[in-house]
Amino acid sequence: MLSFDISNHYLLCLLFTVGLVAGMVDAIVGGGGLITLPALSGVGLPPSIAIGTNKLQAFFGTFSATLSFYRKNMYSIRTINKGIIPILVGALIGAIVSQSLSVAVLSKIMPFLLLFILTYVILVPKFGSENLTPKMNETPFYFFGGALLGFYDGFFGPGVGSLWIFALSYFLGYNLLKASAYTKVFNLVSNVVATVCFIIGGNINYKIAVVMAIGQFIGGKIGTQVALKGGFIVIKPLFILVSAGVISMLIYKNSAGDKNNLMIFGCLLIGLTTFVITHWLKNNRLTLLRFKHRPNRYAQQE
């Protein structure tokens, strides 16, 4: 494990690059923490400081992506207003509860929930390809679902981006681009609560956070452009890949050193992901050939 020295320019460049790449991935489908948390642990930060620093630097990437989507008229202010209060309250309660309760149960349940979502998305090839008739009205969805996802983000957090994208696509009929855009603004709301809690607790290395935040901000802007340009063709394979990564991370933490089980699950997951990506590229080869010539159609997202 490396010992961080703020005067080490190589480490500064490395952390900036990590923030940049994570910001790009997070802007498209979420899951940037899969990149940043190992890097922060790798430079020698204690777990609580690593998590707090990660929350602060990720905030700037999410803010950048949200701002970029807003400038492309991807949001309805009325829709956002329906979700802000329930999400904020849920995240606050989750953050408070997390101080006194163990996350062990959630950490064991989440891999199975995410695996169910991943399987559903794989078995329904056109899932998220276009806007569909909502299965649920926005008001009750945000009141109950928004509060629940806000609570989860404040209490635990891993995979919340995947949960948001799936919920918005499945229940409200959003296509994946629209779901990804709204996920950013709602993640921003719940992240504020968590970030403030870590600031109050003094669990942030500000020097590292500033370096990575700059990379996150730039990466968030680039990732947004990739999402807008690529839409469904780019977002779905990356969603599958990131969801698989989150599942692997949670399984790894739950394995508690059981290398045999971890190796078996890892091989199965890698095989599944490789098959899905290969199958996806094969079925969409003609679309990919026309990808660079495809016009942007922001109007259909609203």
Q: In the numeric block, which tokens belong to residue 63? A: 């803010």
2 domain-assigned: no
d(CA 209, CA 201): 16
Residue 249 pLDDT greater than 60, yes or no: yes
d(CA 56, CA 209): 6
105 domain-assigned: yes
CB 201 within 8 A of CB 49: no
In total, how many domains does the chain have? 1
298 domain-assigned: no
Single pTM value for the model: 0.79
Q: What are phi and psi of 268, to 5 degrees?
A: -65, -40
Residue 156 pLDDT greater than 80, yes or no: no
**CA neighbours within 13 Å on the CB side: how many for 53?**
25
d(CA 297, CA 302): 10
C-alpha distance from residue 99 to each of 48, 170, 183, 217, 275 (Å): 12, 32, 25, 30, 41
4 domain-assigned: no
d(CA 25, CA 74): 19
Per-residue pLDDT band at 2 (split at 50, 70, 90): very low
Per-residue pLDDT band at 179 (split at 50, 70, 90): very high
Residue-range definition of the domain harbouring residue 155 = 9-292
256 domain-assigned: yes
d(CA 190, CA 255): 29
pLDDT at 236: 86
Average per-residue pLDDT for the chain: 82
Percent of the chain with pLDDT over 70: 80
266 domain-assigned: yes
**Could you tell me how many helices (H) and strands (E) the chain has, helices first?**
13, 0
Rounded-to-5 percentages of helix, strand, coil across the chain: 80, 0, 20
pLDDT at 107: 73
118 domain-assigned: yes
190 domain-assigned: yes
